Structure 1
Amino acid sequence: MSEKSRLDEIKDELEALDINPTIFARKEIRALPEVLSENERIVYLVEGRNKLTNHHIILVATERRLIFVDKEFMYGLKVEDFSYDKVSSIQYEKSLMLASIDIHISDNILEIDNVGKYYAELFCEKVRDFMAQPKENFQIKSEPTVLDKLEQLGRLKESGILSEEEFTEQKRRLLDEPS
């Protein structure tokens, strides 16, 4: 699947979840196809400001993990992700117009402010639901399928990392492997 169609798929997911990111989250949303795995689905997403860096970021909750995405012109793409079993607590605090979210991960506290009040509460509820699930629910498939490997090869070829000859050779090897 091309990045463009994956981005359209992500935008459709957000629309179905009634999430309408602002123009300030545009860079981070465009980076999601390279951050999310092919079958990973968004459960909820909020945007805000990282208190530490003062950068605009998005927080993405998927069925597998919690992801912080910061795409800045000068600093490039910064992605941090954590499985739900690493999150010890998540809380929000409302002010007059906005809210802040504090996420405790190991010995770290990640603080995000300038989050919409309603969205902060909903995001925290969604993450708490995943935190309450048994750890084995977060295990990712142990081995990628041949189809997954072929898709990865195709992306490497499209991006110019593999030549046509290298692609053909790797594809032949994959298809000749016993299942």
Structure 2
Amino acid sequence: MRPDIDAAVSKLSSTIGAKREIQRLPEVPWEGGTVEILAVGVYGKGNGLLAMTNQRLVFFHGLLGQQVEDFPYDRISSVQWSGGMLLGTLTVFASGNKAEIKQLPKDQGKALADSLRMRIAGGSAPSTPTLAVPAPAPTPADDIASRLATLDQLRTSGVITEEEYRDRRTKILDSL
């Protein structure tokens, strides 16, 4: 497997219902894509694997064949998380459609929802042009503070490990 997939798989609490999809994940075509977060859930007709990559959100499943449904980040308008005691539902609103991925483990689903929200908030453009006063350009200190805050949120939500947090924090501070 690939290092990015291995790292994401190691964070899964269970691979039940998605072992075949995990093994076939490297076959899903995406050029230059890396897997950031994985979760096992139910969408449409069955169990499968939800993968958040650096390019899109992908649900991958199929008993006899391979079925892939992807959600490019620029098409996702909002994300909703509804958690129960152990499991929850992630609802993705994209291009006027609604996709519900159910039975996600609570910790993985919440971390994925939080990461998705951050991703679409940072990369979304307003749908209609508006007149606005340009914001002042951020100073290097503001940019560093923002990057450190985002990094802290990723660690708190469980998206990155403590070791990854320390490594990335060091790199940010070294860029001063």
1:64 aligns with 2:63: no
TM-score under structure 1 normalisation? Answer: 0.63
| Root mean square deviation of aligned Cα | 2.0
1:25 aligns with 2:18: yes
Q: Which runs of 5+ in 1 are unaligned?
A: 1-6, 137-179
1:47 aligns with 2:40: yes
Distance 1:60 1:39, change over 3 A: same
Name 1:164's counterpart in structure 2.
Answer: none
Specify the structure having the higher radius of gyration (Cα).
Answer: 1
Match of 2:66 among 73, 77, 89: 77
Task: Compute the displacement of 1:135 (Å).
Answer: 5.6
TM-score under structure 2 normalisation? Answer: 0.64
Q: What is the correspondence of 1:128-167 to structure 2 with a 5 Å cutoff?
A: 128-134=117-123
Tell me if the contact between 2:2 and 2:26 (Cα under 8 Å) persists in the aligned partners: no
Structure 1: which 4+ aligned runs deviate by more than 6 Å?
none
Q: How many residues align?
A: 125
Match of 2:82 among 69, 89, 93: 93
Task: Compute the displacement of 1:10 (Å).
Answer: 4.5
Q: Distance in 1 between matches of 2:122 and 2:72?
A: 12
Q: Which amino acid aligns with 1:35?
A: V
Q: Distance in 2 between matches of 1:43 and 1:79?
A: 17
1:15-43 Cα shifts (integer Å, max 9, x gaps): 56x23441321111112111153532111
| Percent identity between the two aligned chains | 29
Name 1:9's counterpart in structure 2.
Answer: 3
